Structure 1
């Protein structure tokens, strides 16, 4: 098992200025590096308190790279539908060099209608743009004199500079929140996956992992624990009851930000996102106690959280966990306490984390 932190902001100007958030997040990245965590991850979203303070994860991770030396840097995820592949490939290659090969690149389709509207990209082109964008970027990283004649972009022949530090390219991870077919395709392509257990039943996560691993086996790809990422809301305190109470408040705050961000699905439908209108009904109405009991959030004393991880490990095998330590507008002190307690009392039990 490997463990990192996911700096997923659910915060806006009414809560704290952006500069203050970034300063605190970078201090948490330094702390994760100091304490031996595997990675620091952040997201790409726009406009809403739900992720909107992170419209460009590459910028943040470049700053984190300059202030750390060991921890890996993960985009969780960048959105190729909204950026020309030459531009995105170049930005990520530059980051891989700044970080001296510590970059893992997670790609996502995006799912918020407001973002597609702003970028003037039809929701029904989401899947096709994602597939084309990821493949174009992979080729730009791995090959020279690349000529691309796609549906949405045409270019070449071009040779990307800088070349990526890691050859042939950084690890690729594919976000598969609600679509098992995405995980299956990732396995066939030799990519990793990023799953969201908080919004899916345990059985659905297990089935998705089975599809992924079977597809990988068919092409001779053997995923490691670093090829499977899952994010969990995390709140630790010495006293388990305090952790659950304060974690509940942070969770409720994060759920409100999600509910606002997905509200456009009330009037939106897309063949690329079947059933997504149901997100509106569920967002903001989660049962926090049930979520903790079902091991969809890591909340409690260090001993309680370690017990939860052992259950999760039994269900899914060894994989990489991202601890969401700032979601819900927790203070810097609360997030740092979670990281320190986890490092002191949980990390030592997992010798593979390095």
Structure 2
């Protein structure tokens, strides 16, 4: 099982911006297999939709660092760990701008980029991004089309309902060929179908402390994804999954380890990462958590 951790991006730990490089280097030295970012744009004072089924936005989202900058910095100072995004809100970004940024990060890392995409949940963030939230599904599909073209064709040209790329020469392609593996998030029907048709894998989520880890919560949707992939003429066995383990409190740390161990034993998941937003206040605590989780999960 590959085990990764989030970079210092949200909440109090984001104040240790100057310590990002130390965290990335030390996490790799301790044995982490991947380092991850998310994508939050703002913390609405009066949110139309709260976070995770609640009515409010977590205080941690009041302090946010840019995911592209963090991935670039981590890629530049590490040699082995994969650099992942779970998830970038693709409908916010012009595909050409997104492709340029992600290609650069993949090249800096020597082909270690693992981009994950989703559609988000916050109407206020869509308003701030200047994108109608009602178009999020269609924009995600078109963004994937344009990205895949950017990473494979030369010259590149794309025309859709929402996005267009005039014919252009793109000589810089990702190091990882034919392209970085693209993962997609979501549990709803349309999201699961998109994973099966468009992606290299799925991004499930478990919250230790809220519920005991149920392997069927991963195995059931993954079976459907692979069945749909086969019906679409794709190789079902080629699709993977990266499990986001998202503890809400420091008391849930034992549940983090249990989730990772049980996922490895009882599912096809071979890669998990720990969201540390609610676990640590500074980089020293973050590195201590990395060491403790890796020691406990690997014995």
TM range (shorter): 0.7 to 0.9
Q: Distance in 2 between matches of 1:159 and 1:135?
A: 17
Instruction: Give the ranges of 4+ consecutive aligned residues of structure 1 lying more than 4 Å apart after TM superposition.
Output: 49-55, 222-225, 304-308
Q: Is the CA contact 1:38–1:71 (under 8 Å) kept in the aligned structure 2?
A: yes
How far off is 1:52 after superposition? 5.5
Q: Distance in 1 between matches of 2:65 and 2:276?
A: 19
Q: CA RMSD in A?
A: 2.7
**Alignment partner of 1:56 is 2:69:** no
Q: Secondary structure at the match of 2:130?
A: coil
Moved more, 196-205 or 53-62: 196-205
Correspondence for 2:198: 189
Correspondence for 1:105: 115
Q: Is the CA contact 1:233–1:325 (under 8 Å) kept in the aligned structure 2?
A: yes
How far off is 1:190 after superposition? 4.3
Q: Distance in 2 between matches of 1:3 and 1:66?
A: 20
**Alignment partner of 1:320 is 2:271:** yes
C-alpha distance 133-171 of structure 1, shift in aligned 2 (>3 A): same
Identify the match of residue 104 of structure 2 among 76, 88, 94: 94
* Cα deviation code 1:297-337 (max 9, x no counterpart): xx22xxx7654433333442333111122435533232211
The unaligned stretches of length 5 or more in structure 1 are: 236-245, 249-291, 293-298, 350-354
Q: Distance in 1 between matches of 2:120 and 2:257?
A: 32
Q: Is the CA contact 1:45–1:52 (under 8 Å) kept in the aligned structure 2?
A: no
Correspondence for 1:26: 21
Identify the match of residue 145 of structure 1 among 155, 168, 192: 155
The unaligned stretches of length 5 or more in structure 2 are: 44-58
Q: Is the CA contact 1:141–1:168 (under 8 Å) kept in the aligned structure 2?
A: yes
TM-score (norm 2): 0.82
1:213-292 equivalent positions in 2, closer than 5 A: 213-218=226-231, 219-223=233-237, 227-233=240-246, 247-248=250-251
C-alpha distance 129-190 of structure 1, shift in aligned 2 (>3 A): closer
Q: Distance in 2 between matches of 1:52 and 1:83?
A: 21
Q: Is the CA contact 1:107–1:134 (under 8 Å) kept in the aligned structure 2?
A: no
How far off is 1:140 after superposition? 0.7
Q: Distance in 2 between matches of 1:103 and 1:75?
A: 8
Moved more, 130-139 or 47-56: 47-56
How far off is 1:23 after superposition? 2.8
C-alpha distance 214-54 of structure 1, shift in aligned 2 (>3 A): farther
Q: Is the CA contact 1:6–1:231 (under 8 Å) kept in the aligned structure 2?
A: no
Q: Is the CA contact 2:244–2:275 (under 8 Å) kept in the aligned structure 1?
A: yes
Q: Distance in 1 between matches of 2:94 and 2:63?
A: 22
* Cα deviation code 1:77-98 (max 9, x no counterpart): 2222111111110111111111
Bigger Rg over Cα: 1
**Alignment partner of 1:333 is 2:267:** no
Q: Is the CA contact 2:87–2:117 (under 8 Å) kept in the aligned structure 1?
A: yes
Q: Distance in 2 between matches of 1:67 and 1:336?
A: 16
How far off is 1:37 after superposition? 1.6
* Cα deviation code 1:57-82 (max 9, x no counterpart): 12111111121111110122222211
Q: Distance in 2 between matches of 1:34 and 1:234?
A: 24
C-alpha distance 51-163 of structure 1, shift in aligned 2 (>3 A): farther
TM-score (norm 1): 0.70
